[in-house]
Amino acid sequence: MPTTTFRAAARLSLVVAGVTALMAATACNNGAGGSAAPTPKGSASGTLNILVSSATGSDAGFQAVNKAFVAKYPGVKINFSAVPNETYAQAHASRLTAGSIDVGLAGPKELPSYVPASNEGDDARLADQGGYVDLTDQAFMKKYNPTVLDQIKYKGKNYTVPTGLSYYSGMFYNKKILADNGIKVPTTWSELTAACDTLKAKGIVPLGIGGKDSAGLNMLGVAQSLYPTAQVKDDLAKGLYDGSVKLNVDTQLKVLQQVQKLYSYAEPNFAGVSYATMTSDFVNGKFAMMSDGTWNTTTIQQAGGSKLDFGYFPLPASDNAADNKFLGGKVELTLAIPSNAKNKSAAIEYLSFFTDNYQLFDDQAGFAPSVTGAKSNPFYTDIAQYTSTFQPAWDTIWIPNTKAGPAAQNPFNWAGIAPMGKSDAQGAADASQKDWQAGLK
């Protein structure tokens, strides 16, 4: 799902001062901290306010579930809001303050021991203070894949419902364009650059990039292969926090050097291209490949129809093919019930109904299923070799330092490289290291 910087973030921060304290007080008043009892079947009623961040596939999926839910519970009126990603955090914060969310998004995350407590996210603080309903013992939770639930547990409890999985360290590719030019799916960095050079020499744009809102996916793809396991990524994060690793040397610099190379293969003026335009241009064959997330699969399939034959492969940033073997991913939109929800009983019933009717949602959203036994899009069978071992993407492990400067928030400063910024890879890395170091003092 998209974010203001790239379509990858799962964690949503609250931006209105005082929300945490207000929610904590409300949680105490509501007696939150235990599990809410489900509503008897057929008895849900009243207004149900649902707030999510917007994307074409998931919006359609939620609407399908909403329609079926109201048909079963005619006494319920659903106010469904799908807010653009760039404004979601603000809308979420203000509506939490007002107590006007019954079902929304949350992602409490435990801090690793090496991260200062000051960097704890607002969702984690709210969970600690009883701000979210504990869903752990709800019967419907048993229908979710237990390994997925383990990924989103917070201090041993499940406060959220996983709507699916997405992978986003890979590239969609137009099979016809590659085949017509004698190019096989690249499995190493050298093969990828050779393929791009071949296409470019023939006047074909190798790579599409949505500079307005998704350029950072290129960095995540590169980082996935250069740091191919969860342990390696965790070691990197720990080294950055203890100061033993620098962002402007070694493999850390190489990440941005390869991002810069990818930028050189993109269409002119890509910094001003939106995600929607990038998707449309890919469907219409204006370039051969694009870094993107599997959440876009259903949209591409529906737009391309039978005329578009496409595939997906891990962005191969390493020249060791084994490092490029698996896709990095995350648990998608995670639904939660705030403790100050005005219609908590209907919210519980909605999450139960969502689970029982998951196929209605996922047929539109196109996520890798989170419900055990759910039928997935055939696309996921095609990429099964890349997803057989789940590998977390870099942004699911990385915890930003709130004291660091803007160039170190990712921390690979892809936005500082021209034409997204004004520097080359070395300059962007130097700026990132300077801002990061300042945040460690």
- The pLDDT of residue 36: 55
Mention every residue, 6+ apart, whose C-beta is less than 8 A from residue 301.
Answer: 366, 377, 379
Residues 351 and 247 in one domain: no
118: left (phi over 0), alpha (psi -120 to 50) or beta: alpha
Residues 49 and 125 in one domain: yes
Band of residue 441 on the pLDDT scale cut at 50, 70, 90: confident
Residues 272 and 248 in one domain: yes
Average pLDDT of the residues of the chain: 90
Q: What is the DSSP letter of 137?
A: T
Residues 284 and 425 in one domain: yes
Are the C-beta atoms of residues 313 and 186 closer than 8 Å to each other? yes
How far apart, in whole angstroms, are the C-alpha atoms of residue 403 and residue 118?
9
Are the C-beta atoms of residues 165 and 148 closer than 8 Å to each other? yes
Residues 59 and 99 in one domain: yes
The answer on pLDDT for 11 being more than 50 is no
Share of the chain above pLDDT 70, in %: 90
Determine which of 30-34, 124-128, 227-231 has the lowest per-residue pLDDT on average: 30-34
282 vs 441, more confident? 282
- In this structure, the strands spanning 310-314 and 170-174 are antiparallel
Return the amino acid letter for 277: T
Residues 224 and 302 in one domain: yes
How far apart, in whole angstroms, are the C-alpha atoms of residue 410 and residue 31?
38
Residues 204 and 157 in one domain: no
Q: Is residue 419 part of a domain?
A: yes
How far apart, in whole angstroms, are the C-alpha atoms of residue 90 and residue 95?
9
Q: Is residue 395 part of a domain?
A: no
For 310-344, the pLDDT digits (tens) are 999 999 999 999 999 999 999 999 999 999 999 99
Q: Is residue 7 part of a domain?
A: no
Residues 339 and 382 in one domain: yes
75 vs 7, more confident? 75
Q: Is residue 380 part of a domain?
A: yes
The answer on pLDDT for 81 being more than 90 is yes
Q: Is residue 8 part of a domain?
A: no
62 vs 31, more confident? 62
| Domain range enclosing 338 | 19-166+332-387
Concatenated DSSP letters for 28-97? HHHT-SSPPPPPPTT---EEEEEEEE--HHHHHHHHHHHHHHHHH-TTEEEEEEEE-HHHHHHHHHHHHH
The answer on pLDDT for 42 being more than 60 is no
Residues 51 and 89 in one domain: yes
- The pLDDT of residue 108: 96
For 179-207, the pLDDT digits (tens) are 999 999 999 999 999 999 999 999 999 99
Q: Is residue 6 part of a domain?
A: no
Neighbour count for residue 180 (Cβ, 10 Å):
12
How far apart, in whole angstroms, are the C-alpha atoms of residue 200 and residue 205?
6
Determine which of 21-30, 72-81, 97-106 has the lowest per-residue pLDDT on average: 21-30
283: CATH = 3.40.190.10
How many domains in the chain? 2
- In this structure, the strands spanning 76-83 and 328-331 are unpaired
Which residue, 216, 228, 171, is CA-closest to 397? Answer: 228
Summarize the confidence of residues 33-50 as an average pLDDT.
70
Residues 261 and 300 in one domain: yes
Mention every residue, 6+ apart, whose C-beta is less than 8 A from residue 35.
Answer: 133, 134, 135, 136, 137, 138
Q: Is residue 89 part of a domain?
A: yes
The answer on pLDDT for 218 being more than 80 is yes
Q: Is residue 315 part of a domain?
A: yes
For 370-394, the pLDDT digits (tens) are 999 999 899 999 999 999 888 999 9
Determine which of 173-177, 249-253, 358-362, 375-379 has the lowest per-residue pLDDT on average: 375-379
Residues 70 and 186 in one domain: no
The answer on pLDDT for 428 being more than 90 is yes
Residues 162 and 182 in one domain: no
